[in-house]
């Protein structure tokens, strides 16, 4: 929970959307989103009013400084509201256009980018990623040491039973070392997280990840982690663009996601939220982790590290555009991002009963 609070969105975005044909839309001046009265799309104004009351409890208890909530149905936004503060120290209120760190909500966008390249025929889901990232050739898996192994060895290495495929990295079944569990955790901390340098690119980070042993054989289990950094790097290698360039050109511009960036322009700092974490010495209260200033790592240069696993900043309005595109079967504003059958493929269960 601590990690979730520290790295998740300050703004909580709540979506309740039904796919369907959308008639002529009225536009909100504030967000540019199609708006409707709740009753026009089969929802209740009275019951939606409970959202603010519930979110206010989180603010009053000191669990979060502020919240943005957005509810939409049938392509229409029926509730968009902000409460609390985006910057407690400077007494700045949360607004519906506040820009927040998207953290792992970056992952669906990076994954869509790779599937756009899949639609262009660059690879099959069963292809080894080593076809484009040779550093992932001949991977090793860490397995617990036995009594026959040298004393003090935390694990031993065995060859991976099969290559890492595109499907593995898109479904978190590749077995990559990660930041929260597994016998490779110390090596991940030292050789991936702590080894990062100021001018590193995601390509540098992915090469370091490839040097670490896997936690299990690809396809044998499910474990959440940095796989989507590899997804983002694959987008770069296959497209010949940085992940930043690809997302801007192929997704953000067509979907009118004008406030979504890897690095926030300083001209938008007046809408940037601070980020907080639990205060261990003060019960359930929070304390400042990073101020919304030009010194934030999401603002300051060098602008060279584009993490598909958690690098974007955005707004509730921008992110609902992305999700409405998916709910529409891959299209929004006349811009087709994905084919309908690809969206169906992406939203099917590909991990079955894996542990």
What are the catalytic residues? 104, 107, 224
| Residue 29 Cα distances to 127, 253, 322, 336, angstroms | 46, 19, 19, 25
Please list, residue by residue across 328-350, b when 16 or more beta carbons sit within 10 angstroms of its beta carbon and e when fewer do.
bbbbbeeeebbeeebbeebeeee
CA dihedral sign, ordered 310, 311, 313, 314: negative
Helices (H) and strands (E) in the chain, counts: 10, 13
Provide φ and ψ at 312, rounded to 5°. -90, 155
Q: Which of 38, 58, 56, 57 is nearest to 48 (CA)?
A: 38
Q: In angstroms, rounded to a whole number, what is the distance separating the alpha carbons of residues 233 and 235? A: 5
Provide φ and ψ at 155, rounded to 5°. -160, 170
List the alpha helices (DSSP H) in 145-197. 166-170, 185-188
Q: Is 51 exposed, middle or buried (0-12, 13-18, 19+ CB in 10 A)?
A: middle
């Amino acid at each position: 929970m601590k990690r979730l609070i520290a790295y998740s969105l300050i703004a909580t975005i709540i979506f309740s959307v039904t796919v369907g044909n959308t008639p002529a839309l009225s536009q909100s001046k504030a967000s540019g989103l199609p708006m409707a009265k709740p009753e026009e799309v089969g929802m209740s104004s009275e019951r939606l009013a409970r959202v603010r009351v519930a979110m206010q409890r989180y603010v009053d208890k000191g669990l979060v400084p502020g919240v943005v909530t957005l509810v939409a149905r049938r392509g229409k936004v029926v509730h968009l509201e902000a409460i609390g503060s985006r910057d407690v120290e400077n007494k700045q209120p949360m607004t519906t256009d506040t820009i927040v760190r998207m953290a792992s909500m970056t992952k669906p966008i990076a994954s869509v980018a790779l599937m756009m390249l899949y639609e262009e025929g660059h690879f099959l889901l069963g292809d080894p990623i080593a076809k484009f990232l040779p550093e992932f050739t001949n991977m090793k898996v860490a397995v617990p040491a036995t009594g026959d192994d040298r004393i003090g060895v935390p694990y031993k290495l065995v060859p991976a039973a099969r290559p890492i495929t595109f499907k593995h990295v898109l479904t978190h079944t590749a077995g990559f070392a990660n930041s929260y569990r597994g016998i490779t955790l110390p090596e991940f901390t030292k050789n991936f997280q702590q080894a990062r340098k100021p001018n590193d690119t995601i390509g540098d980070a992915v090469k370091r990840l490839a040097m670490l042993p896997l936690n299990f054989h690809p396809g044998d289990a499910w474990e959440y982690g940095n796989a989507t950094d590899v997804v983002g790097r694959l987008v770069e290698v296959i497209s010949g663009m940085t992940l930043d360039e690809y997302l801007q050109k192929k997704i953000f511009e067509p979907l009118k996601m004008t406030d979504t960036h890897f690095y926030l322009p300083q001209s938008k700092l007046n809408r940037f939220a601070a980020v907080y974490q639990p205060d261990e010495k003060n019960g359930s209260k929070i304390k400042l982790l990073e101020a919304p200033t030009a010194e934030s790592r999401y603002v300051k240069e060098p602008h060279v590290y584009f993490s598909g696993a958690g690098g974007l900043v955005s707004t509730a309005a921008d992110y609902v555009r992305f999700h409405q595109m998916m709910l529409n079967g891959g299209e929004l504003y006349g811009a087709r991002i994905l084919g309908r059958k690809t969206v169906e493929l992406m939203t099917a269960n590909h991990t079955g009963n894996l542990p």
